[in-house]
Amino acid sequence: MYPFPLSLFPLFILLITLFLSTPSVSTNQHAPKIQNLTQPITNMNPHELETLFKIMESMSNDQNWRTTHQNPCQQGSSWLGIECKKSNLNNMYHVTRLDFGTHPNPTCKKTATFPSLIFQLPNLESVFFIQCFAQTKTKIYVQENRVLSSGSSSSVLQQLSLKSNPALVGIIPPQISSLKSLQILTLSQNSLLGQIPVELFSLSSLVHLDLSYNKLTGKIPDQIGNLKNLVDLDLSYNSFTGPIPNTIGQLGTLQKLDLSSNSFTGKIPETIETLHSLNFLALSNNKLSGNFPKGLNKLQGLQYFLMDDNPMFVTLPKEFSQLQKLQELRLAGSGYSGKIPPSYSRLTNLTTLSLQNNRLTGEIPVGFSGFLHMYHLNLSRNFLAGVVPFNSSFLKRLGRNLDLSGNPRLCLSEANGVYLGVNVCGSKNSTSNSITMPLKNKSEASCGLIRSLFLVCALCITVALYPLLFFA
């Protein structure tokens, strides 16, 4: 029996060799599949991909981003709020846009804070965080002068829009000036405070600057004149003080300037006449006073001039009548006296004219009846007198958008169906309405005084009687 197994020995070796080699061959065949499952081949730089996942994980709970979008820059990826572009250099994709906060973009979780990691994404061009930071207080943190991996040494970020984030607090960091390519900077409706860092005015590529609805303070530095490409400047609803700087006149391409609802003082600077492209100017609710600039009539592109509620106390400037494109002129609550210039009738494109709450005297210019586009006319609470020059079709067209009330000496030549707060000329009531109004206010005030005196007395009596109660 011995030779038999001996003769089979080579076959045995062969079988063993085959047995051992077969699995190793099959392992080699399956290797790419296993690799694909565990670490997908992406079209991105792994470092950039990792940074993106870290940002996503810190910001949003909507999905487990690593598993649901293993290759976020893939064509047809369903990851909303992100945009990628292919680099010409290495065929790699880079993140160029991030958009968080509002549907359908990824929503922010309660613990989300400002992710300064975004400044490590080398090709990021635009960032939006809208209604994102609402619960956890956080500050803007910009990493300065980082040498970026793409080889360029400066940021390519063109748009930074942080809007409606009540928990975004602190100052605007001076390091924001390292974002040299910035064209659009929107920081409105946050809780930012302090002064605008002067470094911000070195961002000479800025086209749109919106810092409205924050708690910013201090003066506007003269360096604002450096922003030569600015088209849109909105600093409204803050607490800025001091004068509007003369250098504002250097912003030759400015189309929209909104400085309303601050505490700006002094005059409107004369230099404003150089803003030839201006079509929207809002200065309402400040502490501006004094005369208008002489060159006001040079603002020939102006369609909106909104300047309610300033302590102006001058006469209405005739220059407005030369601004033929005006559609809205608001000059209410600013102590204007004298007559309404009849030349204002030339502003045939006016749709809104607000002159209420001033000290205007004289008659309503007859030419006002020719305002064919007028939609809203408020002349209430002045000292206007005489016959209202509007015919019934004008009165009907404006309806309740015409307010002439609170002008005791104004009267209507005929009874109209529309309520105007104005009496018919010659009726006994002609002077009654405005005289009764202040009287009513006064009597209300004295009633209030009597009421509070009564309360104080009641309190005194109670205190005085308290010991009596105690002894009884």
CA atoms within 13 A on the CB side of 139: 12
Counting contacts by CB under 6 A, is residue 413 touching ligand NAG? no
Closest C-alpha among 238, 236, 242 to residue 222: 242
Please name the residues in contact with 298: beta carbons below 8 A apart, sequence gap of 6 or more: 273, 274, 276
Q: Least distance in Å: CB of 296 to ligand NAG?
A: 17
Kindly report the three-state secondary structure assignment for every residue of 269-329.
Answer: CHHHHHCCCCCEEECCCCEECCCCCHHHHHCCCCCEEECCCCCCCCECCHHHHHCCCCCEE
Q: Give the interface segment with ligand NAG, choosing from 4-12, 34-42, 218-226, 275-283 (CB under 6 A).
A: 34-42
189: left (phi over 0), alpha (psi -120 to 50) or beta: left
Among 294, 325, 440, 442, binds ligand NAG (CB under 6 A): 325
Among 41, 89, 463, 464, binds ligand NAG (CB under 6 A): 41
* Backbone dihedral angles phi then psi of residue 421, each to the nearest 5 degrees: 70, 20
Tell me the residue type at 53. Answer: F
Counting contacts by CB under 6 A, is residue 370 touching ligand NAG? yes
Q: Least distance in Å: CB of 324 to ligand NAG?
A: 4
Tell me the residue type at 129. Answer: F
Please say whether the beta carbons of 344 and 317 come within 8 A: no
Q: Least distance in Å: CB of 150 to ligand NAG?
A: 24
Contacts 24+ apart (CB under 8 A), 329-333: 329/305, 329/353, 329/354, 330/284, 330/305, 330/306, 330/354, 331/305, 331/307, 331/355, 331/358, 332/308, 332/356, 332/357, 332/358, 332/378, 333/308, 333/309, 333/357, 333/358
Counting contacts by CB under 6 A, is residue 401 touching ligand NAG? yes
Pick 294 or 325: Cβ nearer ligand NAG: 325
Counting contacts by CB under 6 A, is residue 165 touching ligand NAG? no
Counting contacts by CB under 6 A, is residue 114 touching ligand NAG? no
Among 155, 357, 382, 407, binds ligand NAG (CB under 6 A): 357
Q: Least distance in Å: CB of 68 to ligand NAG?
A: 15
Counting contacts by CB under 6 A, is residue 177 touching ligand NAG? no
* Whole-number Å distance between alpha carbons of 321 and 230: 28
Q: Give the interface segment with ligand NAG, choosing from 57-65, 80-88, 119-127, 378-386 (CB under 6 A).
A: 378-386
Q: Least distance in Å: CB of 333 to ligand NAG?
A: 7
Q: Give the interface segment with ligand NAG, choosing from 15-23, 182-190, 360-368, 422-430 (CB under 6 A).
A: 422-430
**Dihedral angle sign, alpha carbons of residues 144, 149, 154, 158:** negative
Site string for ligand NAG, 201-240 (x = CB under 6 A): ----------------------------------------
Pick 164 or 349: Cβ nearer ligand NAG: 349
Pick 392 or 441: Cβ nearer ligand NAG: 392
Counting contacts by CB under 6 A, is residue 423 touching ligand NAG? yes
Counting contacts by CB under 6 A, is residue 75 touching ligand NAG? no
Among 247, 310, 352, 378, binds ligand NAG (CB under 6 A): 378
Counting contacts by CB under 6 A, is residue 356 touching ligand NAG? yes
| Run of H or E including 59 | helix 46-59
Chain residues that interact with ligand NAG, rule: CB under 6 A: 36, 40-41, 324-325, 349, 356-357, 369-370, 378, 380-381, 391-394, 400-401, 403, 423, 427, 429
